[in-house]
Amino acid sequence: MSNRRGLLIILSSPSGAGKSTLSRRLRDWDPTIAFSVSATTRAPRPGEVDGQDYHFMAQPRFKQDVAAGEMLEHAHVFGNFYGSPRGPVQAAIDGGRDVLFDIDWQGAQQIRNSALGAHTLSIFLLPPSIRELHRRLETRGQDTPEVIAKRMEKSWDEISHWDGYDFVLVNDDLDTTEARLKTIIEATRLRRSQQPGLTAHVRALQTEFEEMQ
């Protein structure tokens, strides 16, 4: 077994608060962090790559995968289905790698309540203001005004679940938020439950201690 157990790192926020930007930065910082590529029934946006940003699939296939127990969690968001495929997550954490999830509060809740809940670190990002959230969605330039309006309308529903998370960060200055995320991850990796090798180490210390008596 690896000396370290993989962490399931969940990032949630209302759309536009900075999840994708920060998850990109975290993966550049530590390329051993695996990204959980979600399955979705929504259409790809320009520039999105199948298998990299999402596994794009039709609804019947998505429902089949859910019925077969192949999704660690799944939810209906903005009129589409989204889910986290279980296989790659299990393989990564068994190998001692952390997995990063960009998922909504429903998915976060399901993972927290699953058998992997003890190995979960959940972080919620709040925007500095609603006005700034709107500005970020507009400057991202990916969505039509109608889609932006829909995302803004849903943002309060997502924000209202902020208190179910282990950590909450106001993503004002991007570099500051990035540094705080790294601190949180590094500290959580040292949680007793994340270090399966500790028991053997303490046993070895005990043997050494007794031999010296």
Footprint of ligand 5GP (CB under 6 A): 15, 38, 42, 73, 75, 77-78, 82-84, 102-104, 106-107
| Min separation Cβ 189 and ligand ADP, Å | 24
| Min separation Cβ 79 and ligand ADP, Å | 16
Toward ligand ADP, which CB reaches closer, 71 or 137? 137
* Of the candidate residues 7, 17, 26, 77, the single one contacting ligand ADP (CB under 6 A): 17
Q: Quick one: which of 71, 45, 26, 55 has its CA closest to 151?
A: 45
Return the structure tokens found at 90. Answer: 């299990």
Give the interface segment with ligand ADP, choosing from 8-16, 31-39, 86-94, 110-118 (CB under 6 A): 8-16
Rounded CA separation 104/85 (Å)? 15
Binding mask 154-193 for ligand ADP (x = CB under 6 A): -----------------x--x--x----------------
Rounded CA separation 28/33 (Å)? 9
Following DSSP, what letter does each residue of 132-200 receive, concatenated? Answer: HHHHHHHHHT-S-HHHHHHHHHHHHHHHTTGGGSSEEEE-SSHHHHHHHHHHHHHHHTTSGGG-TTHHH
**C-beta nearest to ligand 5GP: residue:** 107
Q: Check if the beta carbon of residue 176 is closer than 8 Å to that of residue 22.
A: no
Q: Quick one: which of 30, 178, 48, 24 has its CA closest to 102?
A: 24
Q: Quick one: which of 124, 97, 96 has its CA closest to 31?
A: 97
Toward ligand 5GP, which CB reaches closer, 83 or 127? 83
| Min separation Cβ 97 and ligand 5GP, Å | 18
| Min separation Cβ 56 and ligand ADP, Å | 17
End-to-end, the C-alpha distance of the chain in Å comes to 32
Q: Does 127 bind ligand ADP (CB under 6 A)?
A: no
| Min separation Cβ 172 and ligand 5GP, Å | 20
Q: What, of ligand 5GP, ligand ADP, none, does residue 107 touch, CB below 5 to 8 Å by kind?
A: ligand 5GP
**Residue recorded with tokens 């940003």:** 53
Give the interface segment with ligand ADP, choosing from 11-19, 41-49, 92-100, 154-162 (CB under 6 A): 11-19
* Interacting residue ranges for ligand ADP, rule: CB under 6 A: 13, 15-21, 136, 139-140, 171, 174, 177
